[in-house]
Chains A and B, each alone.
Chain A
């Protein structure tokens, strides 16, 4: 059994003025060992809320469903148990390295913190040795010097490497990377992505990569889950998802990227806006208001996931009836 993480029917709701609103709604997802699963979505899609639910970082949310990590259900786990998993078995890489690091501590000490907490048996000398080893592993030149540096003395790429060193300090089995390269330049982004790929092979971890950047997904992911308004709307392996996308939202997103469009052409735009948490439709297909030219009867009343092909899941039957309004044929995504 190499299913590392099994999420089933996970719903994370927040209380806003006496009512509960589901930021993550009935999400089921598995992550295997040595696999990168990308979660793609725009702001408000619930992708970060999902990551925080796995990490147990929402203390005021109501969470239902199950999150099985190595067989153990994380939902409702007492904080003390969760603390011993977090940072040890499950590591997290945050988006903005500057706010993830403590500005008043040298980076060496910040990495050591993770070791003190989860590997108390290490002696001081062993710890420092391990930190230098980690800094080397994440590709930091002259790790002895960087050990003594404060975060502000390092460049953005170096800081993100330090954040990654902290996340992998205890060789976690699951790594959650929340927009790990969004704050970085393209050449640095490439280095960090290479590093994440290398670490995956080193520690054989399962990785959840949260991003809004389809280019990063195409480069990194083994499987992809596309989220819209709190739900997974499509899930498939990366080749299938990019060559044969089914859900109207996935197809629309792929249609609106600049990198593959004809220069100076008019880009495809999705009508309307992403609904806010309080305005989520509680019934029916959540994407329906954005594709008003598709007849109502094409949607399901309670949209379910359909297995369009083995391993390829799509929510709501509307994908069978979707077409782009002003293009003859956009059924096939051409590279």
Chain B
């Protein structure tokens, strides 16, 4: 049994507009997404802004209502868990947010920020709590003496690590990381990514890594799903996607990755022109009248792509 199974997930946002607030066509932010994450693995969700990758992550953790479909965590549906009832799954799924500046309460000390999940789920004495927080800070590479400091006293990378300390406080099984390093400088990105991989090994964590940065996705992920307008266009292992992309959208996305070798400029120019031409010519075959991708078809045991209906 997979750790997390997302089944035909749909998240639609109703729009009321016009005279008398008539209901208009809803925005289909996520429109039939399915994937699974195994224990200890990293699944990368890639797409451009508006593709629904963040909404998918938020729906899994319960921050966006699910319109239809289901999310199963260790075989149990998260949809039926009502507010106030048994919420133990919340221990096991945690989130790391994009912006370390707005995701930590500036009025709280580090100890209160990191201990908050502990206070919600564990009964601990003040002493035990303090020790637990100090251990967590040590684990993320911050000085245990800094428990009484405020978030503004830390740099961006350190703050992101406070956010990670909070996320791992309850020893979760799955962490949803939404653009965890995109607000950070290059050298700090490397620190946080290394660190995420270290605690993954240590705690056998699974990640749902949401990012638009294909370099980071390739570096971190076992499986990758490419999203476009609320649907998957392709899904597979990292080598399926990077080594053998099948959908024209995936090909176009991959060709747009900056090339680190300036000697390839001319070659890249031609390659991209060819990919763009293919994209334009094949667009009507690969997308329906509304510009949406077709359902995924299996190409191999691990590799799925939204290939056209015929041919």
Contact = CB atoms under 8 A, between A and B. Distances in A.
Interface of A: 42-43, 156, 185-190, 212-216, 218-219, 221, 238-239, 242, 252-253, 256-261, 263-270, 273-274, 335
A170 B154 CA distance: 44
B185 A43 contact: yes
B185 A42 contact: yes
A78 B135 CA distance: 58
B237 to A, nearest CB: 11
A276 B247 CA distance: 46
Contacts of A42: 185-188
Contact of A258 (B157, B185, B193): B193
A185 B48 CA distance: 6
Contacts of A215: 215, 257-260
A260 B155 CA distance: 26
16 contacts: A42-B185, A43-B156, A43-B185, A186-B212, A186-B253, A190-B272, A218-B260, A219-B265, A253-B186, A256-B189, A258-B215, A260-B260, A263-B219, A268-B190, A273-B158, A274-B155
Contacts of A214: 186, 260
B260 A259 contact: yes
Contacts of A335: 260-261, 263
Interface in B192-216: 193-194, 197, 212-216
B91 interface: no
A225 to B, nearest CB: 16
A269 B256 contact: no
A212 B260 contact: no
A126 B252 CA distance: 39
Chain B interface, >50% SS class? helix
A190 B256 contact: yes
Q: Which residue, A186, A187, A218, has most C-beta atoms of chain B within 10 A?
A: A186
Contacts of A239: 262-263
A253 B260 contact: no
Given A185-B48, A190-B272, A266-B197, A218 B257 contact: no
B49 interface: yes
Contacts of A216: 258
A218 to B, nearest CB: 5
A267 B261 contact: no
B191 interface: yes
Chain B interface extent, by class: 35 or more
Contacts of A213: 258
A199 to B, nearest CB: 16
B215 A269 contact: no
A189 to B, nearest CB: 7
- Identify the 4 closest CB pairs spanning chains A and B, nearest first: A215-B258, A259-B215, A267-B190, A256-B190
Contacts of B193: 258, 267
B219 A261 contact: yes
A201 B125 CA distance: 69
Interface in B170-187: 185-187
A261 B48 CA distance: 23
Nearest to A273: B155
B197 A264 contact: yes
Contacts of B272: 190
Interface string B252-290: 110011111111010010001000000000000000000
Contacts of A156: 49
Nearest to A213: B258
B155 A259 contact: no
Interface in B65-104: none
Contacts of A238: 262
Nearest to B260: A218
Nearest to B261: A335
Contacts of B220: 264
Given A185-B48, A186-B253, A256 B260 contact: no
A261 B217 CA distance: 12
A269 B260 CA distance: 19
Contact of B216 (A242, A258, A273): A258
Contact of B187 (A186, A221, A253, A259): A253
B218 interface: yes
A214 B259 CA distance: 9
A269 B191 contact: yes
B160 interface: no
B194 A267 contact: yes
B238 interface: yes
A187 B257 CA distance: 8
A273 B157 contact: yes
Nearest to B220: A264
Given A43-B156, A186-B253, A218-B258, 13 more contacts: A185-B48, A186-B48, A212-B185, A214-B260, A216-B258, A218-B261, A252-B187, A259-B218, A259-B260, A263-B238, A266-B197, A268-B190, A270-B190
Contacts of B190: 256, 258, 267-270
A187 B48 contact: yes
A252 to B, nearest CB: 7
Nearest to B51: A185
A74 B220 CA distance: 47
A88 to B, nearest CB: 31
A242 B194 contact: no
Nearest to A261: B219
